[in-house]
Amino acid sequence: MPLLVSLVLLVLMGVFSRRGLLDLRRMTRQNQELQLRLDQATEQRQLLQRQLETFKTNPMEQERMVRQSLGYVRKNETVVEFD
């Protein structure tokens, strides 16, 4: 009987203790979530690097950004604003 009680206590400790099975499942799920966030951040970084490289090397892209961001227009262009 004491052996059975000891065995049950060990199993319960293995499941519910600080480094037990439940904690392992929580840490595994948290690790997966962090890995997903890291993958998303890596993709975003690569996208921004491609955009920066395009901006550095493509004069048409530079002009588009200046026009879009700062509202610049060329001489003899007509600007039509819509509300």
pLDDT at 12: 66
Please give the residue that has the higher pLDDT: either 31 or 6: 31
Domain that holds residue 34: 2-70
Q: Is residue 79 part of a domain?
A: no
**Position 16 confidence tier, pLDDT thresholds 50, 70, 90:** low
Report how far residue 46's alpha carbon sits from residue 52's, in angstroms, rounded to the nearest whole number: 10
pLDDT at 24: 77
Q: Is residue 48 part of a domain?
A: yes
Q: How many domains does the chain have?
A: 1
24-76 pLDDT per residue, tens: 788 889 999 999 999 999 999 999 999 999 999 999 999 898 888 888 888 88
Q: Is residue 29 part of a domain?
A: yes
DSSP 36-71: HHHHHHHHHHHHHHHHHHHHHH-HHHHHHHHHHHH-
Q: Is residue 61 part of a domain?
A: yes
| CA 73 to chain CA centroid, nearest Å | 37
Instruction: Say if residues 73 and 67 touch (Cβ distance below 8 Å).
Output: yes
pLDDT at 14: 67
Q: Is residue 13 predicted with pLDDT exceeding 90?
A: no
Q: Is residue 44 part of a domain?
A: yes
Q: Is residue 26 part of a domain?
A: yes
Q: Is residue 83 part of a domain?
A: no
